[in-house]
Amino acid sequence: MSKPDNREKSTVEQIRQRFDNDVERFSNLQTGQSSTVDAPLALELITSAAAATNPHATHFLDVGCGAGNYSLKLLEKLPQRNVTLIDLSQPMLIRAKERIQVVTNGRIHTHQSDIRELELGENQFDIIMAAAVLHHLREEAEWTAVFQKFYHALKPGGSIWISDLVTHTAEAIEQMMVARYGDYLTKLKDEAYRDHVFAYIAAEDTPRPLLFQIDLLREVGFVQAEILHKNSVFAAYGAVKPI
């Protein structure tokens, strides 16, 4: 996964259009995104960590909610909570709300928006989940601003849990992990599928190292940062806002 100039990357509108046409792939609660290594495990770990950390949560935020898998899984553990969903894609939001309203009597709020543009307010949520979305952030200033926004939006004692594509600072390790991921994709389908996935990662994504993100969580004020899982170029991690 090369690192071209961010000016060469897909626009937000181009990314939105791709997701508008990809709802079905994001609608399987058992498998998640098959192109993501250990997707079902990350889904279970993120939602279990959220439920264990904030068992009395009343309202959670699902950023880049897709078709709603993470919200559905968390509602299995914390039923009848209020849910706020954010996604670039209106078809994704429609599908997510359809699936979620079947399992909760809580309020469901939806926002078709880029997380960089949406105001979240202060002390609004007990839990924030962000799965396979932050790798679309570009410059470091965007990463800092979004992490600060998450911090302020959480109530004291609230927690954030992230599952995402990550890179590595050592070039040899990055090449090794990318090769492992390529092998995974080839075994999952074939070399053409591997090349297809690598092509849209190169076009759309600007992931950052896991430790960069852990350090940034601490920098903006979070404590008790935890790495739940890492395999190849995917990781699940989070942190808590002090009381």
Residue 150 within a domain: yes
Residue 172 within a domain: yes
Read off the CATH number of the domain in which 47 is found.
Answer: 3.40.50.150
Q: Are 177 and 185 in contact (CB under 8 A)?
A: no
Q: Are 42 and 229 in contact (CB under 8 A)?
A: yes
Residue 178 within a domain: yes
Model-level pTM?
A: 0.90
156: nearest Cα among 57, 238, 52, 64: 57
Q: Are 221 and 30 in contact (CB under 8 A)?
A: no
How far is it, in rounded angstroms, from Cα 204 to Cα 136? Answer: 7
Residue 134 within a domain: yes
Residue 79 within a domain: no
pLDDT at residue 112 greater than cutoff 50: yes
Per-residue pLDDT reduced to its tens digit, 53-109? 999 999 999 999 999 999 999 999 999 999 999 999 999 999 999 999 999 999 999
Domain count, the chain: 1
pLDDT attached to residue 219? 98
* DSSP H/E element including 104: none
* Residue with tokens 């927690």, as numbered in its chain: 159
Residue 74 within a domain: no
Residue 75 within a domain: no
| Structural domain range at position 13 | 6-55+114-240
Q: Are 6 and 138 in contact (CB under 8 A)?
A: yes
* Residue with tokens 């181009």, as numbered in its chain: 14
Residue 156 within a domain: yes
Per-residue pLDDT reduced to its tens digit, 197-242? 999 899 989 999 999 999 999 999 999 999 999 999 999 999 999 9
